Amino acid sequence: MNHFTTVEHLSASTIHALLQEATLFKEGKTWMSSGAPLIANLFYEPSTRTKLSFEVAQRRLGFQLLDVDAETSSIQKGESLYDTVRTLQALGASAVVVRHSDQRFYEQLKDISIPVINAGDGHGEHPSQCLLDVMTIKEEFKSLADVNVAVIGDVYHSRVARSNVQVLKRLGANVMLAGPDDWVNAPELGCERVSMERAVTTADVVMLLRVQHERHTKDGRKDAADYHEQYGLTLEREKRMKPGAIIMHPGPFNRGVEIASELVEAPRSRIFKQMENGVYARMAILKYVCAPAAEFMAHSREPIK
């Protein structure tokens, strides 16, 4: 059984196989889960893109959806994450997609015998966002090798950054970080810290991160206009980007903070393409955890090592 909870142990060949699956789905290939199995979505934190694109992916693959409303379920009576997921398993769910504010929440679920998909664990990881981001970059540059990626902003609180940096480096990209001192303090990522000027003028991919207001203490908050001036992608900075360089942001984006509002749909922005690719990436992940290994490999162009 495959879980999809962290990118830590995903080999480059498994990532490539997932990307191939996602691309084939985008090209119109189909795969249907047999017997319309139930799949549960359990979101303890708000979500638009991740939750809805998992739902679209699940419907396209023929799953029946079990949508757990954290606000009206017995979570409100104090039921634990383990007991909630164990209940979903007892009700017949064949897999569960979970977003939770606890970093590495999935370690509480090690005795659960259905696949667990991490849809975001606190400021830990966001592995499905990582797959759609890598898919978007690969579509643009064909390969990740030697692509210069500048990850900019609230790195410290970003689960997107933590997954993306690991995988981008594993696939051969050069990753640099830029942003305020207290938010780019992530030595465990092993990336060079650069100025905004260098990030914007040398990157092939300017990957902006959302300012995670909900994870900041009162002392850690920054003025939105100051942030935009110092670390945002302003209209002036965009003019200094390389020809062919692209803008990415996982969303939701704070217009006028991480990015000038006019740039959200600029010709070099891939922000809405990321969202579109999210459906295909999540179809690939669902197949990876739910299909027999032979079926997953059969759909791919190369075997998983």
Annotated binding site: 49-50, 77, 99, 126, 129, 159, 210, 251-252
- Closest CB 167 distance from ligand CP, rounded Å: 16
**Nearest by Cα to 278 from 251, 247, 300, 301:** 251
Q: What residues between 225 and 284 interact with ligand CP by CB under 6 A?
A: 250-252
Q: Which of 50, 84, 164, 234 binds ligand CP (CB under 6 A)?
A: 50
Instruction: Provide the mask over 104-123, with x wherever binding to ligand CP is found by CB under 6 A and - wherever it is not.
Output: ----------------x---
- Closest CB 6 distance from ligand CP, rounded Å: 16
| Alpha-carbon 53 to chain mean position | 12
- Closest CB 249 distance from ligand CP, rounded Å: 9
Identify which of residues 20 and 47 has a Cβ nearer to ligand CP in the complex. Answer: 47
* Beta carbons within 8 Å of 292's beta carbon, 6+ residues apart: none
Q: Could you say whether residue 148 binds ligand CP (CB under 6 A)?
A: no
Residue nearest to ligand CP (CB): 50
AA letter at 157: H
- Closest CB 109 distance from ligand CP, rounded Å: 20
DSSP conformation letters of 95-112: EEEEEESSTTGGGGGTT-
Q: Could you say whether residue 49 binds ligand CP (CB under 6 A)?
A: yes
Q: What residues between 18 and 47 interact with ligand CP by CB under 6 A?
A: 47
Reading the block at residue 106, the tokens are 């999935």
Strands 64-68 vs 148-152: parallel, antiparallel or unpaired:
unpaired
- Closest CB 193 distance from ligand CP, rounded Å: 24
DSSP annotation of 46: -
Q: What angle do CA 221, 226, 229 make, to 5 degrees?
A: 135
Q: Which residue has the tokens 């699940």?
A: 58
CA–CA separation, 211 and 172 (whole Å): 27
Q: Could you say whether residue 129 binds ligand CP (CB under 6 A)?
A: yes
Interface residues with ligand CP (CB under 6 A)?
47-51, 120, 129, 250-252
